[in-house]
């Protein structure tokens, strides 16, 4: 009753031996899961364009008018009123001169001026700053809270799960806008209203992620590597932070991007309703609400903030799409594309 | 009982492949799964297609039934009842399924739709193909159930899949496959998910049916015992090509190709079992006084809490495990064998009784003390795909026990990981690789290395090789043996495979429904079983030798009929 070990004869190599040989032959470059995901993400065209666009908008918003006392390259301030030139029409022109346009030029007020002569470019950039701050803070706060609550509920199950999930249900049944409006009012009285508003929004929008992470953890906790870690005496903290959460990163990252898009729209709605950012400060939603009546005679006051909201929200959504495809190994798009190429070449 | 293959002119084939080639377009490259194979299956004949994972055996059969995914490129010919199905339009292929070619799947739990009655599922294909409708179809379905040996088919046909046992479900799947009298049935690992005793019954059923219905069966399997039991001819597949074809006697007893020889050599075999019980046991081992008990269970009871109601998984179990010895726990699914392993690992509390590691009772430990005990126990699980964290590099996987128990500096940990990689015969460079880059067998060796990181006193192996191919299994078992003799740890080896336990263990506990039915030295229990259940288990385990298997089948039939008379 022993296993006979025969020397390798000819080409016949058993699977076990063939696998070892293949491993020994492998070159030294080894791709981690993270690297594979990065590769797939870079191959996702819409997501890459969105990323570039987002970075561009963020750089534009923060460098143009500066932030927190640091001056930017755009000379005008968003609170500074002035004389209205040419009815406040935007001076930005994109049509090049060889097409009969005035050529590529910024002009004095690229986005135009509002009724009191404030530079609208500065105002919109300020609004974009606020929206981006809110998006990032909400994305971060909601993700951290949601991930931790979800992981704890999924890991412990039983009464811990029951309590945490009923709490989640409670947050879900209260209309988000009402809750955010009430809390936003309180936030408005604090020193840094935007950041406090963002924190408050984060505190009420973690529910979706908590549920998703809980579901994922419920299935992951039955994996054998979790049992192995428990069996070797790892603490609960270690199991959750090292073994469970890193493996839900796909769900978390994808959901965070959607939470960010949602937060931008939520802030916009709140400011539009008058519960969010207040004048003289500016936000994209506030600008739209202030100038909705100007739509017929000075439509650019509506279009600029609207377009930027749309661009940010769409880009973040595409980014989330790209991340989801990158994290999902079952995607087949690439193979199909290559197959088509082969057929054409034949 | 070997039938020589009839010449192609004398009889039409039920299924034949001519130079079939299949390749897949994947994300990064093209994979050639099947490289031009030719094979015939005649009516009333069972052809076994054997090979290890990745050999292309399932792809070959899936090509015949036209169910390959859309990224597959198929060339060559596959004839089903004389019609070439390669490149056949989907609507024509659909008409041929069930009437010309049918399939029996591996997993009976998921092959049936849980929300439809068995009647609906059985009459579906009859009605779709216009063979029978309404009451007539139901009558046919009842006949089919009777044919596959479901008792009381009139009543049971109204039931849902979950009301049947695993073996019965596989019978229903077989009934569905034969409902429209197909010329050929593809049985893809039809017994892999079943316990040995149930497997033996299903194999009997398939043998009976192919004689009765004169259907050709293409049997896909990796289990040489099943091949010896059922097949007339065998085709051995390796890396997408056929390396050897012949009658079952030729291939299993006089293999020509080197690959087949080595494959057969790595199959663990049960030594001759004396089912009649006239074997004289060796004198009992002398009980040495200085023996060191590493693991001890006394009247151990383990329970699962199922929403308030307790389910007793292990009941009144006692065993002892000495240092340097391997104790095998065998049993069928649901016998509670893995539950014992779980309890030793501290993943399940002890309900009552004693479970002691080196004299320390696990039931009475505080969490902190229990953590210290954990460092003395290593574990290997069944599924190599799930037992390593996909986000940890191999080095981190191996040294995790040191990190958890705060042993050593970073440099010492890396050194230890390298030592262990040497011990499991893997190159040191894999330290920076990730689990997904390794094969199942290699991952299982990483698990062994991880289990040994802290020089444990006790190794728990819960079905460590049942997800592996035979040659890989042989390598892993050999490694466990080698390491065990080097490090002299005690090992609790849980398995459903009697041959593996016979090969590896010194002592064995046979479990059934949470109770130990028989225990003792492997040589006594497995070679001269005293309990009926052990005898039945042993008789049901197929051996990879057709003549011996035929004898064992006969012995098993006698055993069962004797039992039936007693009742």
- As for the ipTM of the complex, it is 0.81
Phi, psi of A129 (to 5 degrees): -55, -50
From chain A, pick out residues whose CB is under 8 angstroms from the CB of B429: 28
Q: What is the mean pLDDT of residues A286-314?
A: 83
Q: What residues have CB less than 8 Å from A75, skipping those under 6 apart?
A: none
Which chain B residue shows the shortest CA-CA distance from A224? B387
> Is B437's CB within 8 Å of A228's CB?
no
List, for residues A144-201, the tens digit of each pLDDT value: 999 999 999 999 988 999 999 999 999 888 888 888 788 777 776 777 778 888 888 8
List, for residues A326-346, the tens digit of each pLDDT value: 876 554 444 444 444 444 443
What is the fold, at CATH topology level, of the domain defined by B15-265? Rossmann fold (3.40.50)
Which chain B residue shows the shortest CA-CA distance from A12? B259
Burial of B297 (0-12, 13-18, 19+ CB in 10 A): buried
What residues does each domain of chain B span? 15-265, 323-335+368-541
Question: Residue B515: is its pLDDT beyond 80?
Answer: yes
Please tell me the number of Cα atoms within 13 Å of B563 on its side-chain side. Answer: 11
> In 3D, which of B315, B320, B313 has the Cα closest to residue B297?
B320
Tokens describing residue B398: 């191996």
Task: Tell me what the pLDDT averaged over chain B comes to.
Answer: 87
Q: How distant is the alpha carbon of residue A162 from its chain centre?
A: 30
C-alpha distance from A220 to closest chain B C-alpha (Å): 10
From chain A, pick out residues whose CB is under 8 angstroms from the CB of B478: 3, 5
Paired residues of B237 in beta bridges: B242
Task: State how far the Cα of B80 lies from the Cα of B93, in Å rounded to an integer.
Answer: 10
Interface probe for B, chosen from A9, A16, A331, A334 (most Cβ of B below 10 Å), is A16
Q: What is the mean pLDDT of residues B67-77?
A: 88
> Is B434's CB within 8 Å of A16's CB?
no
Span of A5-9, B419-423, B484-488, B542-546 with lowest mean pLDDT: A5-9
From chain B, pick out residues whose CB is under 8 angstroms from the CB of A230: 345-347
Length of chain A measured in residues: 346
B255 neighbors B264 (Cβ within 8 angstroms): yes
Q: What is the mean pLDDT of residues A91-120?
A: 70
Q: How many pairs of residues across A and B have Cβ atoms under 8 Å apart?
A: 148
> Is A19's CB within 8 Å of B439's CB?
yes
> In 3D, which of B99, B179, B183 has the Cα closest to residue B145?
B179
CA-derived radius of gyration, chain B: 26
Task: State how far the Cα of A32 lies from the Cα of A39, in Å rounded to an integer.
Answer: 11
How sure is the predictor about A106, in pLDDT bands with cuts at 50, 70 and 90? low
**Highest mean pLDDT pick, A59-63, A83-87, A109-113:** A59-63
CATH code assigned to B323-335+368-541: 3.40.50.300
Q: Bigger pLDDT: B541 or A107?
A: B541
- Domains of chain A in start order, with CATH, are 36-64+119-329 (1.10.3720.10)
From chain B, pick out residues whose CB is under 8 angstroms from the CB of A12: 238, 243, 257-259, 261-262
Helices A249-273 + A207-220 axis angle, to 10:
170
- Return the pLDDT at A343: 42
C-alpha distance from A249 to closest chain B C-alpha (Å): 10
Q: How distant is the alpha carbon of residue B26 from its chain centre?
A: 29
CA dihedral over A169, A175, A176, A180, signed as positive or negative: negative
A30: DSSP letter = -
Q: What residues have CB less than 8 Å from B3, skipping those under 6 apart?
A: B45, B232, B247
> Is A6's CB within 8 Å of B382's CB?
no
Task: State how far the Cα of B48 lies from the Cα of B546, in Å rounded to an integer.
Answer: 13
- Return the pLDDT at A205: 87
List, for residues B33-56, the tens digit of each pLDDT value: 899 999 999 998 999 999 888 888
Task: Tell me what the pLDDT averaged over chain A comes to.
Answer: 79
Phi, psi of A253 (to 5 degrees): -65, -45
> Is B387's CB within 8 Å of A224's CB?
yes
Tokens describing residue A121: 């470019």
Task: State how far the Cα of B203 lies from the Cα of B235, in Å rounded to an integer.
Answer: 19
Question: Residue B249: is its pLDDT beyond 50?
Answer: yes
In DSSP notation, A169-200 reads HHHHHS-HHHHHHHHHHHHHTSSSHHHHHHHH
C-alpha distance from B427 to closest chain A C-alpha (Å): 7
Tokens describing residue A194: 């935007």
- Expressed in angstroms, the distance from the first to the final Cα of chain B is 33
Question: Residue B307: is its pLDDT beyond 90?
Answer: no
Among the partner residues A26, A230, A332, nearest to B347 by beta-carbon distance: A230
Spell out the long-range contacts of B501-504 with Cβ–Cβ below 8 A and sequence spacing 24 or more: B501/B328, B501/B330, B501/B526, B502/A1, B502/B268, B502/B270, B502/B271, B502/B526, B503/A1, B503/A3, B503/B268, B503/B477, B504/B326, B504/B328, B504/B477, B504/B480
Tokens describing residue B184: 């050929």
Question: Residue A308: is its pLDDT beyond 80?
Answer: yes
C-alpha distance from A250 to closest chain B C-alpha (Å): 12
C-alpha distance from A272 to closest chain B C-alpha (Å): 44
Beta sheet of B309-322, edge-to-edge order: B309-322, B293-306, B352-357, B360-361
- b/e map of A194-206 (b: 16 or more CB within 10 Å)? bebbbbbbbbbbb
- Cite the beta strand spans of B466-539 per DSSP E: 490-495, 507-512, 515-521
Tokens describing residue B24: 């897949």
> Is B400's CB within 8 Å of A229's CB?
yes
Neighbours of B8 (CB within 10 A): 11
How sure is the predictor about B110, in pLDDT bands with cuts at 50, 70 and 90? confident
> Is A33's CB within 8 Å of B391's CB?
yes
List, for residues B111-156, the tens digit of each pLDDT value: 899 999 999 999 998 998 888 898 999 999 999 999 998 989 999 9
Question: Residue B109: is its pLDDT beyond 90?
Answer: no
Q: Residue written as tokens 């390794």?
A: B438
C-alpha distance from B477 to closest chain A C-alpha (Å): 9
- Return the pLDDT at A199: 87
Q: Residue written as tokens 């040995």?
A: B196
From chain B, pick out residues whose CB is under 8 angstroms from the CB of A227: 345, 347, 379, 381
Interface probe for A, chosen from B445, B471, B498 (most Cβ of A below 10 Å), is B471
Q: Bigger pLDDT: A233 or A115?
A: A233
From chain B, pick out residues whose CB is under 8 angstroms from the CB of A224: 381-383, 386-387
B526 neighbors B273 (Cβ within 8 angstroms): yes
Q: What residues have CB less than 8 Å from A299, skipping those under 6 apart?
A: none
From chain B, pick out residues whose CB is under 8 angstroms from the CB of A13: 259
> Is A6's CB within 8 Å of B261's CB?
yes
Task: State how far the Cα of B563 lies from the Cα of B566, in Å rounded to an integer.
Answer: 5
Which chain A residue shows the shortest CA-CA distance from B257? A12
Question: Residue B297: is its pLDDT beyond 90?
Answer: yes
């Amino acid at each position: 009753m022993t296993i006979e070990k025969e020397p390798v004869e000819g080409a016949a190599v058993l699977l076990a031996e063939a696998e070892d040989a293949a491993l020994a032959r492998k070159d030294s470059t080894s791709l981690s899961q993270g690297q594979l995901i990065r590769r797939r993400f870079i191959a996702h065209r819409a997501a890459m364009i969105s990323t570039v666009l987002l970075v561009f908008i963020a750089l534009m918003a923060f460098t143009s008018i500066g932030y927190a006392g640091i001056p930017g390259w755009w000379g005008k301030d968003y609170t500074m009123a002035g004389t209205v030139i040419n009815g406040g029409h935007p001076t930005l022109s994109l049509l090049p001169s060889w097409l009969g346009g005035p050529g590529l030029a910024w002009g004095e007020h690229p986005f135009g001026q509002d009724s009191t002569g404030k530079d609208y470019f500065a105002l919109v950039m300020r609004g974009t700053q606020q929206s981006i701050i809110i998006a990032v803070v909400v994305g971060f706060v909601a993700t951290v809270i949601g991930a931790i609550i979800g992981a704890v509920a999924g890991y412990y199950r039983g009464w811990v799960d029951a309590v945490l999930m009923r709490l989640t249900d409670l947050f879900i049944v209260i209309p988000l806008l009402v809750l955010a409006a009430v809390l936003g009012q309180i936030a408005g009285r604090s020193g840094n209203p935007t950041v406090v508003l963002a924190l408050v929004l984060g505190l009420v929008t973690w529910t979706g992620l908590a549920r998703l992470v809980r579901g994922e953890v419920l299935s992951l906790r039955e994996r054998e590597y979790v049992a192995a870690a428990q069996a070797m005496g790892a603490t609960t903290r270690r199991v959750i932070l090292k073994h469970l959460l890193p493996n839900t990163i796909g769900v978390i990252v994808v959901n965070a991007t959607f939470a960010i898009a949602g937060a931008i729209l939520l802030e916009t709605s709140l400011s539009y309703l008058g519960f969010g950012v207040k004048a003289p400060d500016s936000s994209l939603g506030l600008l739209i609400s202030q100038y909705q009546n100007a739509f017929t005679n000075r439509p650019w006051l509506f279009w600029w903030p609207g377009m930027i909201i749309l661009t940010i929200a769409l880009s973040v959504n595409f980014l989330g799409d790209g991340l989801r495809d990158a994290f999902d190994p079952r995607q087949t798009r690439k193979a199909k594309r290559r197959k088509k190429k082969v057929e054409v070449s034949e | 009982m070997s039938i020589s293959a009839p010449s192609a002119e004398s009889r039409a084939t039920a299924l034949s492949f001519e130079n079939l080639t299949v390749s897949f377009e994947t994300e990064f490259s093209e994979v050639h799964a099947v490289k031009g194979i030719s094979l015939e299956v005649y009516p009333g004949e069972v052809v076994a297609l054997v090979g290890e994972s990745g050999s292309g055996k399932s792809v070959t059969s899936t090509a015949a039934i036209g169910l390959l995914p859309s990224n597959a490129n198929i060339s060559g010919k596959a004839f089903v009842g004389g019609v070439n199905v390669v490149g056949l339009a989907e609507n024509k292929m659909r008409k041929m399924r069930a009437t010309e070619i049918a399939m029996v799947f591996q997993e009976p739990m998921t092959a049936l739709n849980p929300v439809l009655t068995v009647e609906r599922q059985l009459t579906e294909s009859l009605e779709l193909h216009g063979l029978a409708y309404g009451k007539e179809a139901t009558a046919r379905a009842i006949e089919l159930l009777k044919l596959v040996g479901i008792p009381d088919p009139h009543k049971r046909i109204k039931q849902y899949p979950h009301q049947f046992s695993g073996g019965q479900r596989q019978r229903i799947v077989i009934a569905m496959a034969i409902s429209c009298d197909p010329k050929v049935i593809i049985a893809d690992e039809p017994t892999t998910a079943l316990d040995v005793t149930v497997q033996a019954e299903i194999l009997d059923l398939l043998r009976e049916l192919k004689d009765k219905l004169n259907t050709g069966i293409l049997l896909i399997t990796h289990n040489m015992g099943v091949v010896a039991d059922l097949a007339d001819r065998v085709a051995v597949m390796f890396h997408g090509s056929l390396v050897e074809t012949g009658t079952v006697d030729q291939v299993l007893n006089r293999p020509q190709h080197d690959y087949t020889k080595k494959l057969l050599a790595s199959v663990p075999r049960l030594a001759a079992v004396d089912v009649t019980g006239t074997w004289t046991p060796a004198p009992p081992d002398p009980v040495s006084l200085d023996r060191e008990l590493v693991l001890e269970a006394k009247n151990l009871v383990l329970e699962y809490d199922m929403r308030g109601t307790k389910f007793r998984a292990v009941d009144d179990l006692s065993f002892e495990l000495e240092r340097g010895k391997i104790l095998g726990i065998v049993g069928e699914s649901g016998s509670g064998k893995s539950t014992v392993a779980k309890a030793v690992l501290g993943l399940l509390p002890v309900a009552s009784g004693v479970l002691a590691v080196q004299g320390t009772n696990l039931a009475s430990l505080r969490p902190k003390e229990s953590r210290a005990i954990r460092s003395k126990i290593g574990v290997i699980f069944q599924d190599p795909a799930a037992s390593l964290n996909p986000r940890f590099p191999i080095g981190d996987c191996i040294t995790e026990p040191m990190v958890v128990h705060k042993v050593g500096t970073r440099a010492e940990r890396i050194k230890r990981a390298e030592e262990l990689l040497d011990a499991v015969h893997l190159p040191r460079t894999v330290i920076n690789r990730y689990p997904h880059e390794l094969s199942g067998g290699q991952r299982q060796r990483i698990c062994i290395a991880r289990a040994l990181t802290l020089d444990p006193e006790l190794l728990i192996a819960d079905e460590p090789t049942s997800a592996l191919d035979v040659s890989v299994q042989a390598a892993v078992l050999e490694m466990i043996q080698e390491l065990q003799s080097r490090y002299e740890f005690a090992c609790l080896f849980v398995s459903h495979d009697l041959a593996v336990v016979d090969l590896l263990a010194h002592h064995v506990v046979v479990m059934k429904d949470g109770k130990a039915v028989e225990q003792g030295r492997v040589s006594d229990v497995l070679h001269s079983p005293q309990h009926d259940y052990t005898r039945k288990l042993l008789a049901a385990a197929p051996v990879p030798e057709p003549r011996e298997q035929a004898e064992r089948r006969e012995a098993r039939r006698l055993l069962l009929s004797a039992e039936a008379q007693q009742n």
